[in-house]
Chain A
Amino acid sequence: MSQSNSLAVSSGHLAPGTALRRAPFRHLKEKLIEFVLLGAALVAVFTTIAITVVLVYESLGFFEFVSLWDFLTGTVWTPLFAEPNYGVLPLISGTLTVTAIALAVAVPMGTTIAIYLSEFAPHSVREVVKPLLELIQAVPTIVFGYFALLFVTPLLQDTIMPGLAGFNMLAAGLVIGIATVPTIASLSEDAMRAVPMSVREGAYALGAHKLGVAWKIVMPSAISGVIAAYVLAAARAIGETMIVAIAAGQNAVFTFNPTEGAATLTAFIAQVSLGDLPHGSVGYRSIFACGLVLLVMTLVLNVIGHVLRRRYREAY
């Protein structure tokens, strides 16, 4: 309303001074909008800060009973036993093993799919395949968990690995890999499609083949976005809970052998949160220490991703 009013003034009365008079209501409205938007942004920031504060605070309570050194170097994790041990390495080894398997599946598969969709697929195929691919992300992870436990593990036992344990990190990692393929494929494809056509034309004009252009020109041009996709996928794999809790078992063993079952940081947190330990006990507080370790791991990943992105960033 104030807008149309001031417009009428500026076009109707040409006397200097009146045309450029202040529009206090519009100013107020702009301020209000800015305030609301800022508030929305701050919710996310404050949530992150609050989580960090709670994790650190509760962990401090835990470290009153267990030394940081024992926690980080101990290889036995038995908080539920009568004589508990709080060495977190078994959970870390489980998390890293599962994540490594998942990335070994998701990175090559996701990248290949992204290159195909971005550089080779006709428009009609891409329009169908990409939404379908993204639909995988809509599958609840508990479904994936049972898929790993009741389909992938028996399949591996029946075919190439007869001695495979019922709970094992291999099946869990493979399935997490499949679950994260869409993250990598979709984000990498976006990054590749954002590479200007003029760069591809430059390569084609020199006589390059399609695969050469995709691999030697488009891929390096899109590398910062592709790395961001990898980091996000790694963070998802580290944080994945349901699939590992169901398919890898909950037995914390210090091992990097994928054919064995092992608990991960998240699987342990889920287990304890379900009520196996009394509230306020040392064991209960250990989940906050685990949460802190998870937070640090994802933070490190993000920093690595940030550094890589900066190093390989291409500006157009």
Chain B
Amino acid sequence: MVTETSSPVFPGGATEPVVPPVAKAQVHDLNFFYGELRALKGISIPIYKHLVTALIGPSGCGKSTFLRCFNRMHDLYPNTRYDGRIVLMPDNVNILHREVDPIEVRMRIGMVFQKPNPFPKSIFENVAYGLRVRGIRNRAVLTDKVEEALRGAALWDEVKDRLAELAFNLSGGQQQRLCIARALATDPEILLFDEPTSALDPIATASIEELIADLRSKVTILIVTHNMQQAARVSDYTAYMYLGELIEFDRTQTIFVKPKKKQTEDYITGRFG
């Protein structure tokens, strides 16, 4: 476990006034199994509140598997097993516990996927879906929330006149921002991003990255990326994983400028991976 007391480093090297990071979640000795295969091996890191934590590592290192533990996505598939704890603060509850309802977890921890996956509904209904799931029926509330979420995802100006249109009519980058709006609409405490720009062109990627930087003030972010520049650009903390193990976790600047482990350095500098 890392006990970092100095200020978090923000993209571009700017340093915020001294505010010690507060843990939003604490991962303790997390193991995960696909049948017999141990995909995660004893991972322990803190996830700091209102900061961006990036998970990097080569393909198959378990970073997506790790991310998907946070909203119990693995529960959808047979023959999977968690072992260890992810303690969500301030509740101090292990969200992996058998008696914790995964739906309750997902009510508080949102997710944006690798490929934009809008629903076969209108733009409005896509964003409203999470609210409807939470039992919100009041039209005025829905309208307000949808607008707020679309503004939060920097999509409002582009879609405000076509909210009734089918979401598939949007471009790839817009669809991904719609998916972000969809996740934002329910006011999640943690937002999980699973390689959110891997299916997008550079311009759309830039707008998503900008958005992630802006969202930090509202929500704790955990992002998987295999684009190291992206991790360097958007994150405050970075975890480097390899073959299911956590190799190094530190402030992003430290990881990219002065990593402690040779293995991390080799990956960062492109000698490996």
Show the binding face of A for B, using Cβ within 8 Å.
Answer: 122-123, 196, 198-209, 212, 216-217, 220-221, 223, 314-315
Contacts and interface: CB of A to CB of B under 8 A. Distances in A.
B113 A206 contact: no
B73 A202 contact: no
Given A198-B114, A205-B73, A220-B120, 14 more contacts: A199-B120, A202-B117, A202-B119, A204-B76, A205-B110, A205-B183, A206-B130, A207-B106, A207-B130, A208-B133, A209-B133, A212-B133, A216-B129, A221-B119
A206 B183 contact: yes
Contacts of B115: 198
23 contacts: A122-B78, A196-B117, A198-B117, A199-B120, A201-B76, A201-B111, A202-B113, A202-B118, A202-B179, A203-B129, A205-B73, A206-B129, A206-B133, A206-B183, A206-B186, A207-B104, A207-B106, A208-B129, A208-B133, A220-B119, A221-B119, A314-B120, A314-B168
A241 B109 CA distance: 57
Contacts of B113: 198, 201-202, 205
Q: Which 10 A-B pairs have the closest CB atoms?
A: A206-B130, A205-B111, A202-B117, A207-B107, A207-B106, A314-B120, A198-B117, A220-B120, A221-B120, A208-B133
A275 to B, nearest CB: 53
Nearest to A221: B120
A209 B129 CA distance: 12
B103 interface: yes
Contacts of B111: 201, 205
Contacts of A122: 78
B106 A205 contact: yes
A314 B110 CA distance: 25
Of the candidates B78, B104, B115, B186, the one having the most CB atoms from chain A within 10 angstroms of its own CB is B115
A315 B133 CA distance: 24
A315 B168 contact: yes
B183 A207 contact: no
B71 interface: yes
A288 B190 CA distance: 69
B222 to A, nearest CB: 13
B117 A201 contact: yes
A121 B259 CA distance: 49
A271 to B, nearest CB: 47
Interface in B53-99: 71, 73, 76, 78
Contact of B186 (A202, A203, A204, A207): A207
Of the candidates A123, A199, A209, the one having the most CB atoms from chain B within 10 angstroms of its own CB is A199
Given A196-B117, A207-B130, A201 B73 contact: yes
Of the candidates A202, A205, A212, the one having the most CB atoms from chain B within 10 angstroms of its own CB is A205
Contacts, number: 68
B137 interface: no
A222 to B, nearest CB: 9
B119 A217 contact: yes
A204 B107 CA distance: 10
Given A212-B133, A314-B168, A315-B168, A204 B106 contact: yes
B121 interface: yes
A206 B106 contact: yes
B182 interface: yes
B134 interface: yes
A4 to B, nearest CB: 38
A84 B119 CA distance: 58
B139 to A, nearest CB: 18
Contacts of A204: 73, 76, 106
Contacts of B134: 207
B194 to A, nearest CB: 10
Of the candidates A196, A202, A204, the one having the most CB atoms from chain B within 10 angstroms of its own CB is A202
Contacts of B183: 205-206
A119 to B, nearest CB: 11
Nearest to A209: B103
Nearest to B126: A202
Contacts of A203: 119, 129
B227 to A, nearest CB: 20
A19 B201 CA distance: 40
A207 B117 contact: no
A220 B121 contact: yes
Interface string B169-186: 000000000010011001
Contacts of B168: 314-315
Contacts of B130: 206-207
A95 to B, nearest CB: 34
B119 A199 contact: yes
A205 B113 CA distance: 10
Of the candidates B73, B113, B119, B121, the one having the most CB atoms from chain A within 10 angstroms of its own CB is B119
A209 B106 CA distance: 11
Nearest to B192: A205
Contacts of A202: 113, 117-119, 179, 182
Contacts of A123: 78
Nearest to B129: A206
A223 B120 CA distance: 10
Contacts of A199: 117, 119-120
A192 to B, nearest CB: 13
B77 to A, nearest CB: 9
